[in-house]
Amino acid sequence: MIVKIPVLRRFCPSCGKTTEDLFEGLCSECFLKNTELVRGKKRIELGICYDCHRARFNKFWREFPGMGAIIQDVITRNIKPRHGVILRTHYSEFVIKGKTEVPVKIDATLSIGGKDLSKKYDAEIVIFPEICPECSRLRGGYYEAIMQLRGEHKDEMRKYAETHIHNYAKDEPNAFITKVEELKEGTDLYIGSQKAGRMLSVAMRKAYNVQCTITKKIHGMRQGKEISRWTIFLGPDKSKNSRDNQDSKGAGDASAVQESNDSSVE
């Protein structure tokens, strides 16, 4: 005798549909209909700098390797998936011309009960082109230090400075060269950050074995504090007597950084 074992039938309590699988007590359609796999803002605004292409989130500017990295970071920051959900984003290539609205398709996939359930969402990223503070200063000729390059290595030192100044941009946003001035006696570089200028001068002093002298001159006052501009000299020793004295004493490095202060106000 063959005994037939009845197959247990499951019903979705929401729609009454017969199904083999229930997800948290519901069929897949009702589960996805009543469950949000992600939460967060679906319309996100950010600024992109015209010149350096850094992105602004609220009041903070960040640098990214490309527009794709910006879009991915925006989605990650603003769209929060449910635990176990994997997000995939899709968008078409675009060109920023004024206010730009970028539609983004989001595929959210949840693995539950050995099954993958997917749900699609629409988001929109609104990009506003603007100028970041650092590029605004650069456009306006802002500088905190003048680096004077002198001697036979001045052309090589200029190339070195122009190539390596951006290495300090992570810690010093104003690490840029505003202007290059060619003079009869050498080349002057106008640098946006005193700290970046000093770090750069230390590296150049060692690379080209030249003297480095920093002169600080008070430029004005801001909110009750003195504002100074630096002159950083890189070149041959301007004082033979100073060099002879150092040699005779047998102490110190002839190319060490020397600093002086000038209390006059421009």
Give the Cβ contact number of residue 99 at 10 Å.
10
Q: Which amino acid is at 195?
A: K
Contacts of 191 (CB under 8 A, 6+ apart): 143, 144, 145, 146, 147, 165, 175, 176, 177, 178, 197, 200, 232
38 contacts 121 by C-beta, under 8 angstroms: yes
22 contacts 14 by C-beta, under 8 angstroms: no
Beta bridge partners of 14: none
**pLDDT for res 201:** 94
Handedness of CA 46, 48, 54, 56 (dihedral sign): negative
**pLDDT for res 264:** 38
What are the boundaries of each domain within the chain?
14-130, 133-265
Residue recorded with tokens 């039938």: 9
Q: Please state, in angstroms and rounded to a whole number, the distance separating the CA atoms of residues 26 and 51.
A: 53
User: What is the torsion angle, in degrees rounded to the nearest 10, for the CA atoms of residue 52, residue 57, residue 63 and residue 68?
Assistant: -90
Residue recorded with tokens 């060109």: 95
Task: Name the strand (E) or helix (H) holding 34.
Answer: helix 28-34
**pLDDT for res 248:** 47
- Tell me the pTM: 0.57
- Cα 133 from chain centroid? 13
Q: At what angle do helices 194-208 and 154-164 cross, to 10 degrees?
A: 130
Structure token pair of residue 182: 């060619």
Structure token pair of residue 74: 């925006």
Structure token pair of residue 71: 């879009």
**pLDDT for res 241:** 45
- Cα 67 from chain centroid? 12
Residue recorded with tokens 């570089």: 189
**pLDDT for res 221:** 67
**pLDDT for res 247:** 52
**pLDDT for res 2:** 62
- Cα 107 from chain centroid? 28
Q: Please state, in angstroms and rounded to a whole number, the distance separating the CA atoms of residues 39 and 175.
A: 39
Q: Please report, in tens digits, the pLDDT of each residue of the chain (266 residues total).
A: 565 555 566 788 888 888 888 888 888 889 888 888 998 888 999 999 888 888 988 788 888 888 889 988 888 888 899 888 999 989 888 888 888 999 999 999 998 878 888 999 999 999 998 888 888 888 888 888 999 999 999 999 999 999 998 888 778 878 889 899 999 999 999 998 999 999 999 999 999 999 999 998 887 666 667 788 899 999 987 665 455 555 544 444 434 455 555 443 33
